[in-house]
Amino acid sequence: MDDYNNPRSYRFHQIVEIKNNSELIEQKQLTFGFIGFECDEGVKRNKGRQGAKKAPNEIRKSLAKLPSHINSSKIIDLGNVQCMDERMEEAQEELGTYIHSLFKHRCTPIILGGGHETLYGHYLGVRKSVSREATIGIINIDAHFDLRNEAAPSSGTMFKQILEQDKRAGYLCLGIQRLGNTQALFDEADNYSCQYVMEEDVADLTSTFQQIDWFSEQYDYLMLTLCTDSLQESAAPGVSAPSPFGLEPKTVRAILQYISNKQQFVSFDISEVNPELDTSDSTVRLAAYLVAEVMQGIHRKSLKGIN
């Protein structure tokens, strides 16, 4: 599907450049850097349904077919970080190193998870790339807090890890479900001064955007993570923990567009897509569309001269 090789008809697969990390050079134009995270060891430790490690390549396949509306930007794909022999922590460190390299060469990281343990590696890369004094706001679209108090890190512990280690980091979660979290987890959220918007309130976009604005103003940098189990099960059946009361895709799209247009926004990951549990590739396809929406939002911001 190359549409006669007309640049105005290009699809994503026609503008992606496959690179090794050693081949990166400093970019002079808006450049997106893909890195996949083939890991669902954190989901396994969290006693969830495995299969998300297969998502990065499946999302790429679906994204490749979509029309590109960012042809004045570049896309570089560094391939995937793999979790070998259950060594999740090493894989997260490696992911952070790749993300740091993308920042160093002026590329905007787009991370394709993987279980939601992807987020911790994402954070490591951002923290390594900014000054020690800089503040980092993490916005998570999710049904779950992921603030579990457990001995071993998993896909349910990342935000607790970060907030305990980094006093200059803050956490806003959009889409929290009462039946997806114990009261103890709500207590943990309060103990760490986390901000959150309940699932039933997110659809009031005026109020949700005001909450995002208030949170964003407190931080030098914003990183964004989307856990696809935040989406309603009918739209996203292929996730580790399906959600019958999840968010509508159009609502999530609007939130992604809004956050990606923020001046402080620097990076994005999508996690918990599980191709092994999907129905007719609907979740994979939706994930690809949402990744494309984020990229188009950043592209539009660059055209406006917002850096």
pLDDT at 4: 58
Reported pTM: 0.96
Topology of domain 3-134+221-303 in CATH is: Arginase; Chain A (3.40.800)
CA-nearest of 307, 298, 305, 276 to 43 is 276
Low-confidence stretches of the chain (pLDDT < 50) are: 1, 306-307
Q: Are 113 and 268 in contact (CB under 8 A)?
A: no
pLDDT at 51: 97
Query: What is the chain's percent helix, strand, coil content, to nearest 5?
Result: 45, 20, 35
> Hey, what amino acid is at 36?
G
For the beta sheet containing 31-38, the strands, ordered from the edge strand earlier in sequence to the opposite edge, are: 16-18, 74-82, 31-38, 108-113, 265-271, 221-227, 136-141, 169-176, 195-198
pLDDT at 3: 55
CA distance 278 to 148: 27
Residue 142 annotated as part of some ligand binding site:
yes
pLDDT at 7: 79
DSSP 241-300: S-BTT-B-HHHHHHHHHHHHTSTTEEEEEEE-B-GGG-STTHHHHHHHHHHHHHHHHHHH
As separate numbers, helices (DSSP H) first and strands (DSSP E) second, the chain gives 10, 9
Q: Is 254 exposed, middle or buried, given 0-12, 13-18 or 19+ CB atoms closer than 10 A?
A: middle
Q: pLDDT of 154-207, one tens digit each? A: 999 999 999 999 999 999 999 999 999 999 999 999 999 999 999 999 999 999
Q: Is 68 exposed, middle or buried, given 0-12, 13-18 or 19+ CB atoms closer than 10 A?
A: buried
**What are the residue ranges spanned by the domains of the chain?**
3-134+221-303
Residue 201 annotated as part of some ligand binding site:
no
pLDDT at 72: 82
